[in-house]
Amino acid sequence: MSGATPYGAVDRGLHRFAFGTLGLQRRLAGLETRMFRDRIDPAHARRPVFVASLPRAGTTVLLEALSRLPEFAAATYRHMPFPLLPLLWTDASRRFQQRARPGERAHGDGLDVGFDSPEAFEETLWMASWPGHYGAAIRPWDATERDPAFERFFRQHMAKVVAAGPEGATRYLSKNNANIARLPLLAAAFPDAAVVVPVRDPLGQAASLLRQHRRFRELHAGDAFARTYMEGLGHFEFGAALRPIAFGEAADPREADEPAFWLRYWADAYAAVLEAAGPQVIFVAHDRLSGDPVRQLGALARALGAEAGHEALAAAAQVFRPTDRRPAERPAVPEGLIERVARIHGALLDRCLDVGEAAA
């Protein structure tokens, strides 16, 4: 989970097999449903919560915080490498499960992960069901692409993740950054869902995206399996695995070593999000969450209809760290791009959750 992917030859072979058989996993999911039908409660697929934004917006820390509230369950590293079979694989692997102290994740950003940490594995469902969207760039989804069979499968998967989660959990929670490319479809297919979109200062976020791209480019050059691992999970955000989502004009990955690439990508992405976001989308300001996490999480929990006492909120708030309030260094990019980014950022902040409104 830190540095080069820490797997031996057998583990790497198992992961390659799993990544190459997503279609088979989806078919086996029917067997899983029959085997564990007494544990799967369809009611636990209602009112799911999807955390989504561009990377480096604070989605991971928000997922970690919400997963500490008692009613939520999310996929964890123990579901790997068969994320479409959370009950079957967890049951089959129980005899050789390992305990490990958390270690810093490969991003080098100070966030620790362990086998029981929640993580973003949901994209594998979309890859298994919508392969035509994944080319050199990822094509966004629209509301006309509804697929009843996929929706039933996804609802079943949500209920399975809850069944495999902590005792008392009743709602599905996920982090999947690519969900900002399918907001209209999510609204049509899952009208009871909430999509939480954290918003971060664009100059700082774009600078972080560039740093991570360079970091993972070096990691992939030194460890080819690290790229295989990311691509197998549908993590196409950085490095040699980079496949931009085609918001507006498709971004050219060959330009990804320049600050302007990431600022344009930021602007195109969030302009599309603002246009597509309906009432089920909840924008939250990452700086506000980090600065006053108990109060802000309480407001978010109320907006999500989640029952969370002060003790649970205080425990969840511990994952946040104060952010650096110093303005990010302005990159050498055209003035027009800076102005466009500032306009979009202002519009996003105008739509961010207000603590007073959430209380009301």
This prediction's pTM: 0.88
Tokens encoding 236: 């196409």
Inter-residue contact 339 to 303 (CB < 8 Å): no
For the CA atoms of the chain, what is the radius of gyration? 20
Is residue 137 in a domain? yes
Inter-residue contact 149 to 93 (CB < 8 Å): no
Three-class SS state of 359: helix
Is residue 2 in a domain? no
Per-residue pLDDT of the chain (360 residues; tens, 9 = 90+): 344 556 677 777 877 777 777 878 888 888 889 999 999 999 999 999 999 999 999 999 999 999 999 999 999 888 778 888 999 888 877 665 565 555 544 545 455 555 677 888 999 999 999 999 999 999 999 999 999 999 999 999 999 999 999 999 999 999 999 999 999 999 999 999 999 999 999 999 999 999 999 999 999 999 888 898 899 989 999 999 999 999 977 678 889 999 999 999 999 999 999 999 999 999 999 999 999 999 999 999 999 999 888 888 998 999 988 776 677 778 888 999 999 999 999 999 999 998 755 554
Beta strand 49-51 with 171-175: parallel, antiparallel or unpaired? parallel
Is residue 1 in a domain? no
Is residue 56 in a domain? yes
Q: Residue 86 sits in a domain of what CATH number?
A: 3.40.50
Is residue 4 in a domain? no
Tokens encoding 255: 């330009």
* Integer CA distances (angstroms), 58 to 143, 223, 262, in order: 27, 27, 17
Is residue 38 in a domain? yes
Domain, as residue range, for 322: 9-359
**Which residues make Cβ contacts (< 8 Å) with residue 150, sequence separation at least 6?**
129, 130
Dist CA 147 CA 130 (whole Å): 10
Domains contained in the chain, number: 1
Is residue 265 in a domain? yes
Is residue 3 in a domain? no
Dist CA 75 CA 164 (whole Å): 9
Q: What is the pLDDT of residue 325?
A: 66
* Integer CA distances (angstroms), 359 to 26, 51, 68, 150, 324, in order: 41, 21, 21, 36, 28
